[in-house]
Chains A and B, each alone.
Chain A
Amino acid sequence: MMLSMFLVWIVVFALAFFRPRFVPPVALIAMGWTLFLLSAHISDPIPLNF
């Protein structure tokens, strides 16, 4: 799963060279996917009443 995250980021980087106009939408997708994977790896709550 984390591999897919970096593969998407590689695509974003490649677009920065060859198709810069497409970078913002694809970068937003990459960020969304990164946040999804972050939430998928949050397995336990943090007690914020310390």
Chain B
Amino acid sequence: MLTTWKSWDADKRAIMVARALNLLALVALLGVLTGSLRLQFVVGEQPCPLCLVQRAGMIGLALGPVLNLLWGIKPINYALSILAAFVGGAGSVRQDLLHIADPADPGYGPQVMSFHLYTWALITFAIAVVGCAFLLMWTRTFTANDRGLMAERGPLRALTLAVITWFSIYVIVITVSVIPECGVGMCPDDPANTSGLASGLGLVILLVILVVSGLVGFVLNRRLPEVTS
């Protein structure tokens, strides 16, 4: 009896730590996307086609944590994130090589802490692959029979749904912002920059997104039933 209890407790602890790591990864991705959206809308630096591919890679990268948190931790979810990291990383590597091939090339767009955004994206994708590899080695999280937060109503589910809502809003914003820049055709290689929003307005919009995400997370947590996949 005691052995069973200890085993169950260790499983639950492993699941909680793995969930926290997945949530942290999702928040980290939101941080990266917030930075790129700030450059686009506040600074006015429009994303190039390769930057858009990297954003798509970030969206794909988030799939693993989202599926793990909602429906239970499974190796296939980490595998999806690793594949998405390679897709996004292909865009980053292409852009990095493009700009280091010519020593006189100053690179595309502004630098953040000495690196261009595509270099930061490559670092993010590399860290994600390594992180997923380590989490794949943690077999206890797979054998613990985690059913995910969709099966458990509570504060963690509300927080997770809020973070996923925040991410979903970003995905929609990124998608809609492609229309004025590229239309339905191919994007220009070097899109013209815009004047950008006032910095204060950008902050207000971010706060509104945060509040809306929090409310949606709270409401969904109360309304959604405790279901299994």
Contact = CB atoms under 8 A, between A and B. Distances in A.
A21 to B, nearest CB: 8
Given A1-B186, A2-B182, A27 B80 contact: yes
A6 B70 contact: no
Interface in B79-120: 80, 83-84, 87, 90-91, 94, 97-98, 100-101
B211 interface: no
Chain A interface size, under 10 / 10 to 19 / 20 to 34 / 35 or more: 20 to 34
A41 B187 contact: yes
B60 A48 contact: no
Interface in A1-32: 1-7, 9-10, 12-13, 16-17, 20-21, 23-24, 27-28, 30-31
A46 B102 CA distance: 10
A9 B67 contact: no
Contacts of A3: 175, 178-179, 182-184
B171 A20 contact: no
Interface in B54-78: 56-57, 59-60, 63, 66-67, 70-71, 76
B63 A50 contact: no
A21 B229 CA distance: 9
A9 B90 contact: no
A38 B66 CA distance: 25
A34 B88 CA distance: 9
Given A6-B56, A24-B76, A40 B186 contact: yes
Interface in B165-216: 168, 171-172, 174-175, 178-179, 182-187, 189
Contact of A13 (B91, B168, B178, B183): B168
Given A4-B184, A31-B87, A34-B53, 4 more contacts: A1-B185, A9-B175, A17-B70, A31-B60
Interface of A: 1-7, 9-10, 12-13, 16-17, 20-21, 23-24, 27-28, 30-31, 34-35, 37-38, 40-43, 46-48, 50
